[in-house]
Amino acid sequence: MRNIASSSSSSASTPKWTYDVFLSFKGEDVRKSFVDFLYSALQQKGIYTFKDDEKLERGRSISPALLQAIKESRIAVIIFSENYATSSWCLEELAEIVDSNHVLGQTVLPVFYYVDPTVVRRQKGSFGRAFVKHEDEIEDKERIQKWRAALGEAASISGWDVPNTADG
């Protein structure tokens, strides 16, 4: 099995990247804290980063512009937080990121923000509950399976673990 985090490609043509980094995150969990800090730090280092600041409407399909930004980013940083999997938007982004890794050689770097990587990988806890809800609300079971596979694959990459130091 090929390592998803690898950015090496045997292809003769190298993709032309528009962005250095694409940030995938659940806004209400981390936008005003971790993501704003990370984005500022990357910008200060001259790293051209895509961060979606628009409010996304629930129930609408993911925008083509957002999918294009994923494909045009050399690196995707996925910030897995407590409610990441509750968002069909986040899961659509994640599936596109995994596809971009396979097809374009995009590097994938996960950050486990106050969540255990094993919980994410095995889709337990809040991640398991999110999928139960998706399965009740979404008729397209293949889409849900694609999300599950992408989540399992991305969460299996060695990344950064930001543990919750509070008891609870």
Out of 82, 93, 96, 153, pick the active-site residue: 93
Q: Confirm whether 82 is a catalytic residue.
A: no
SS (H, E, C) the chain: CCCCCCCCCCCCCCCCCCEEEEEECCHHHHHHHHHHHHHHHHHHCCCCEECCCCCCCCCCCCCHHHHHHHHCEEEEEEEECCCHHHCHHHHHHHHHHHHHHHHHCCEEEEEEECCCHHHHHHCCHHHHHHHHHHHHHCCCHHHHHHHHHHHHHHCCCCCEEECCCCCC
- Give the catalytic positions in this structure: 93
